[in-house]
């Protein structure tokens, strides 16, 4: 999925809504650091992911998929939004 347009909207402080499979998803721009368990739109190693914060260590966020497979680490400047619905 190409997240470019969605990220552009989030960077302009606009929430986004879209269909993700059979689900309706709403993502709000990031306003405060995410917590463990939050589902976020982020960039890890050059790729975009809509996945879960599994660990927070200092200012680094470990991102894992729903099967708890670690994707990698990112920082707050590469976290664009948080899923709310």
Give the model's pLDDT for residue 47.
Answer: 94
Range of the domain at 20: 4-83
Q: How far apart are CA 43 and CA 18, in angstroms?
A: 19
Q: How far apart are the first and last CA of the chain?
A: 19
Give the model's pLDDT for residue 21.
Answer: 83
Domain count, the chain: 1
- The one-digit pLDDT tens for each residue of the chain (85 residues) are 688 999 999 999 999 998 878 889 999 999 999 999 999 999 999 999 999 999 999 999 999 998 989 999 999 999 999 999 7
Give the model's pLDDT for residue 44.
Answer: 96
- CATH number of the domain encompassing residue 44: 2.10.109.10
Give the model's pLDDT for residue 79.
Answer: 97
């Amino acid at each position: 999925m190409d997240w470019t347009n969605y990220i552009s909207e989030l960077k302009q402080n606009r929430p986004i809504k879209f269909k993700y499979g059979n689900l309706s998803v709403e993502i709000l721009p990031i306003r405060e650091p995410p917590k463990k368990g939050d589902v976020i739109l982020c960039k890890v190693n050059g790729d975009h992911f809509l996945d879960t914060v599994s660990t927070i260590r200092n200012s680094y966020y470990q991102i894992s998929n729903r099967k708890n497979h670690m994707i990698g680490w990112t920082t707050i400047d590469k976290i664009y939004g948080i899923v709310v619905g």
